Amino acid sequence: MKKTVLLALLILAAGTPMRAESDFDLFFKNSDDYADVLITEVRSAHHFTIKNAHNEKEIIRLIGLKAPEPPRHKKVDTEYDSYGFPVKPDIDVEVPLEEKAFNFARELLEGKHVRLEFDSTKKNDEAQTLAYVFLIDEGTFVNAEILRQGFAHLQIRPPNTKYSKELRAAYQEARREKRGLQGL
């Protein structure tokens, strides 16, 4: 009972309501934990997995953009000719834009060390960590670079607007130059 009253007094003294997300981050995670993290897997042009400072896997979603999901490759039944040799299917030389976006993000990020920055809302409804991402070696602002290359649509959602000006400029450049999705 005393602990509950003490906790209530601490919350009132702070003057702001506490959310479970911020309580956890405030007491157990430090933003320095995200100053240098390794990207272990790219899931799409706007989702990837890191190994955080606590050696746990964590899903990160880039703030300010929405990229197409990578295409799922369907299994092709093998056909055989009259001699029993497999017939190779015709190869479509045009790579879908979704695959280009995924390949760009994978080449840019997979196995790289990055710095994550956060905004007002740190988690989304799917418990993914929302972040702005910067490559440590080159200093590249990844969120803006994916938009600049035309591999995503601009998707700014308040209250996460810290870099909205830079993201809008990158998106407008892709539209002006008709790159990627903006060139369709």
Domain ranges of the chain: 19-183
Bridge partners of 89?
Answer: none
Q: Tell whether domain 19-183 is in CATH 2.40.50.90.
A: yes
Confidence check: pLDDT of 144 > 90: yes
Q: What's the CA gap between 132 and 60, in Å, rounded?
A: 9
Work out the average pLDDT over 39-44: 96
Q: Tell me: the pLDDT tens digits for 51-103?
A: 888 888 999 999 999 999 887 755 556 777 888 888 776 655 577 889 999 99
Cα-Cα end-to-end distance for the chain: 63
Say if pTM beats, i.e. exceeds, 0.95. Answer: no
Whether the CB-CB separation of 89 and 75 falls below 8 Å is answered with no
Bridge partners of 7?
Answer: none
Confidence check: pLDDT of 117 > 90: yes
DSSP alpha helix (H) spans, the chain? 2-14, 20-28, 97-109, 142-148, 164-177
Confidence check: pLDDT of 30 > 70: no
27 falls in which pLDDT band (50, 70, 90)?
Answer: very low
Q: What's the CA gap between 49 and 42, in Å, rounded?
A: 6
Q: What's the CA gap between 28 and 6, in Å, rounded?
A: 20
Q: What's the CA gap between 29 and 56, in Å, rounded?
A: 12
Q: What pLDDT score was predicted for residue 73?
A: 58
| Selection from 27, 48, 20 nearest residue 105 by Cα | 48
Q: What's the CA gap between 89 and 15, in Å, rounded?
A: 67
